[in-house]
Amino acid sequence: DGGITQSPKYLFRKEGQNVTLSCEQNLNHDAMYWYRQDPGQGLRLIYYSQIVNDFQKGDIAEGYSVSREKKESFPLTVTSAQKNPTAFYLCASKGPGSRYTDTQYFGPGTRLTVL
Amino acid sequence: DAKTTQPPSMDCAEGRAANLPCNHSTISGNEYVYWYRQIHSQGPQYIIHGLKNNETNEMASLIITEDRKSSTLILPHATLRDTAVYYCIALNYNQGGKLIFGQGTELSVKP
């Protein structure tokens, strides 16, 4: 089946540890995105990548890092510098098409809890 | 960035049409209106999008006013599985297509 997968669904880490969240897509999409969602809030953009080996900071990039070595994969590392990392993390991808009509499709999300 | 405003919550009876309003008075001419929904603890699901004309697909209809300052998402026959938070978004392509999510409308479909 084509789609976006995120693993794991739930993740627990101790404070001060770096942790990497996985995002894979087999939709042949060029652009990929990472969002963060806090309880009762909308999504906020962390990082995005429009092509392989290129990515840009979103609104809340501090304390996070990404890589885009392959088209299918866009892992997000939550570093110890992120002051409040406990949140629901969502990955999305977007395919080629008209600049104004592309649609982002989301993965199921990873819920990270830092103890 | 065009900001959108939506009512925080709405109720709808099962089998009836659910009409979800959205105001986007500062939307620019090349910004599309997108609708997503999010069921608790899941990733957002794309519903529909439009620019000027009304749009319909298998999930919903989107009615955009002529001045583009507001729109309405219509779920023609709401079911209990349509209970979710619905987000109205103006797509910003100045930052690579960033979706600006607001608070959304929490729709409760009741039997």
Strands A54-57 and A43-51: antiparallel
Which DSSP helix (H) or strand (E) runs through B17? Answer: none
Average pLDDT over chain B, rounded to an integer: 91
CA-wise closest residue to B32 among B17, B56, B48, B43: B48
Q: Give the 3-state secondary structure of residue A88.
A: strand
Q: How confident is the model at residue A23, as a pLDDT?
A: 97
For B72, residues 6+ apart whose C-beta sits below 8 A from its C-beta are: B19, B20, B21, B22, B62, B63
pLDDT mean over A75-98: 89
A83: left (phi over 0), alpha (psi -120 to 50) or beta: alpha
Q: How confident is the model at residue B102, as a pLDDT?
A: 81
Please report the DSSP string for B26-74 in residue order. T--TTPPEEEEEE-TTS--EEEEEESSS-EE-SS-EEEE-TTSSEEEEE
Check whether A100 has a pLDDT greater than 50.
no
User: What is the nearest CA distance from A99 to chain B, expressed in angstroms?
Assistant: 8
As a whole-number percent, the residues of chain B with pLDDT over 70 amount to 93
Contacts of A103 in chain B (CB under 8 A): 34, 46, 49
Per-residue pLDDT reduced to its tens digit, B32-70:
899 999 998 899 999 999 988 899 999 999 999 999 999
Please report the DSSP string for B75-103 in residue order. ETT--GGG-EEEEEEE-BGGGTSB-----
User: What is the nearest CA distance from B49 to chain A, expressed in angstroms?
Assistant: 8
Average pLDDT over chain A, rounded to an integer: 90
User: What is the nearest CA distance from A107 to chain B, expressed in angstroms?
Assistant: 6
Q: Per the CB < 8 Å rule, is A48 touching B96?
A: yes
> Cα separation of B69 and B49, whole Å?
15
Which residue in chain A is spatially nearest to B106 when comparing CA positions?
A40
